[in-house]
């Protein structure tokens, strides 16, 4: 099964809930570290790194807080070093951090997120080998 690692700033995951639902409905495995608590394990070494390595691509939500987060920047760097495709949702007004300079991004506006979430879903489904949903199915999942 195709797997997407989701990189985001803690506390902002809810912005992606509709997209995560749509991807899972498209039979794509979505790896979100906080969904699988493992007390006593080292978060970065034993969850984040293996999750990125096992994934087929990365989805990054770059908000003002995420763009300043060393954790998010490190996750992006790891994915780039492993040549993982990265789908970036860049919130309006946020400058893309260095590792992603020159990469194409999807503009994300919290007030009108449906379009960006739908484009991200389409892009990830294409990366997954052409697994497609109709526009109506995606809209249902995103609402």
Question: CA 62, CA 85: separation in Å to the nearest integer?
Answer: 16
Structure-derived torsion over alpha carbons of residues 57, 71, 110, 100, reported in degrees to the nearest 10: -60
Whole-model pTM: value is: 0.88
HEC per residue, the chain: CCEEEEECCCCCHHHHHHHHHHHHHCCCEEECHHHCCCCCCCHHHHHHHHHHHHCCEEEEEECHHHHCCHHHHHHHHHHHHCCCCEEEEEECCCCCCHHHCCCCCEEECHHHCHHHHHHHHHHHHHHCCCCCCCHHHHHHHHC
Give the pLDDT confidence score for residue 132 in this predicted structure. 46
Give the pLDDT confidence score for residue 131 in this predicted structure. 44
pLDDT along the chain (143 residues), means of 10: 95 92 92 86 86 98 95 96 97 91 92 91 88 51 58
Report the DSSP beta bridge partners of residue 7: 60
Give the pLDDT confidence score for residue 104 in this predicted structure. 94
Where do the structural domains in the chain lie, given as residue ranges?
Answer: 3-142
Identify which of 115, 107, 119 has the alpha carbon closest to the alpha carbon of residue 23. Answer: 119
Could you tell me which CATH class the domain 3-142 is placed in? Answer: alpha beta
Give the pLDDT confidence score for residue 98 in this predicted structure. 86
């Amino acid at each position: 099964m195709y797997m997407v690692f989701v990189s985001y700033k803690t506390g902002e995951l809810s912005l992606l809930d509709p997209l995560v639902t749509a991807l899972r409905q498209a039979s794509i495995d979505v790896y979100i570290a906080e969904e699988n608590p493992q007390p006593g394990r080292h978060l970065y070494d034993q969850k984040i790194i293996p999750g990125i390595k096992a994934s087929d691509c990365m989805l990054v939500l770059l908000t003002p807080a995420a763009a300043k987060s060393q954790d998010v920047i490190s996750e992006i760097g790891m994915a780039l070093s492993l040549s993982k495709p990265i789908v970036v949702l860049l919130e309006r007004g946020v400058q893309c951090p260095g590792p992603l300079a020159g990469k194409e991004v999807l503009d994300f506006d919290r007030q009108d997120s449906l379009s960006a979430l739908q484009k991200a879903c389409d892009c990830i489904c294409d990366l997954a080998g052409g697994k497609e949903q109709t526009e109506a199915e995606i809209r249902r999942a995103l609402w």
